[in-house]
Structure 1
């Protein structure tokens, strides 16, 4: 039993490290989050709102990685509720709320320009 728990924990930690954000790409119709392993695409047509992320000091990690190569996984705070994070640096973060109610938080050194470009396409 102890070995299985250890294996499960290591497997989850590796999974969340592989979710670490490496770069963002703005396409004609979607934002692509390039992760260490794989991508996450968010079509502009699915976006309801995009704004800079404010440091709420109330974030709680529900499941994920809290600092090694970034912040990835499920988090919660009072203002946004539950969200999925692909964040390298929270001081450069912004959030996206989709029309289906999902919330993603990611980050970029070009945060303001990315927000501006996406808002033009909404």
Structure 2
């Protein structure tokens, strides 16, 4: 089972606007120092995005996978202690990562949820995966209920 991660309108607009601003600043820069700084910023931000930006969420017989551009994050289904849908209002503050630049990814913290790592494109499509070792992941994709219900029913994982 595989579901696509769609970016929110805010995320698409933020990414486009920031890229346009950086490219315009690069085009109109006269100083070699400013050209180097802007170029390095664009390269680093885009490289991080390529590494972390979620494209799809999939479930196999053994793993729940976050398929990213360069690498896949696999979470063993045996390690999952609970999985449940989240309301967008429950999502916390970014500690380190992206809060809209090519999606939402990185470390976040919330008063209710605690610390978690996020991979999602739209706040309305999220679910939380809690592992036996205490780690938590907030993931998001099209039809998140399908993924949550599939894992719960197929692998008999109880909700928290």
Tell me how far apart the structure 2 counterparts of residues 72 and 62 of structure 1 sit (CA, whole Å): 10
User: Aligned equivalents of 1:105 and 1:57: distance in 2?
Assistant: 11
Structure with the larger helix share: 2
1:17 aligns with 2:49: yes
Q: Highest Rg: 1 or 2? A: 2
Q: Kindly state the Cα deviation for residue 58 of structure 1 after the two structures are TM-superposed.
A: 6.0
Secondary structure of the residue that 2:89 maps to in structure 1? Answer: coil
**Equivalent in 90, 105, 113 of residue 72 of structure 1:** 105
Does the 8 Å contact 2:92/2:109 carry over to 1?
yes
Q: Which residue of 2 aligns with 1:48?
A: 81
In the TM superposition, structure 1's runs of 4+ consecutive aligned residues that sit over 2 Å from their partners are 6-16, 55-58
Counterparts of 1:98-109 in structure 2 under 5 Å? Answer: 98-109=131-142
* Residue 14 (structure 1) shift: 3.5
Q: TM-score, normalised by structure 2?
A: 0.67
Q: RMSD across aligned C-alpha pairs, in angstroms?
A: 2.1
Structure 1 CA distance for aligned equivalents of residues 78 and 90 of structure 2? 31
Higher mean C-alpha displacement, 14-23 vs 44-53: 14-23
Q: What is the aligned partner in structure 2 of residue 118 from structure 1?
A: 151
Aligned match of 1:91: 124
Compare relative contact order (CA 8 Å, sep 6+) and give the higher one, 1 or 2.
Answer: 2
Q: CA deviation at 1:11?
A: 6.5
Aligned-partner Cα distance in 2 for 1:91–1:66: 14
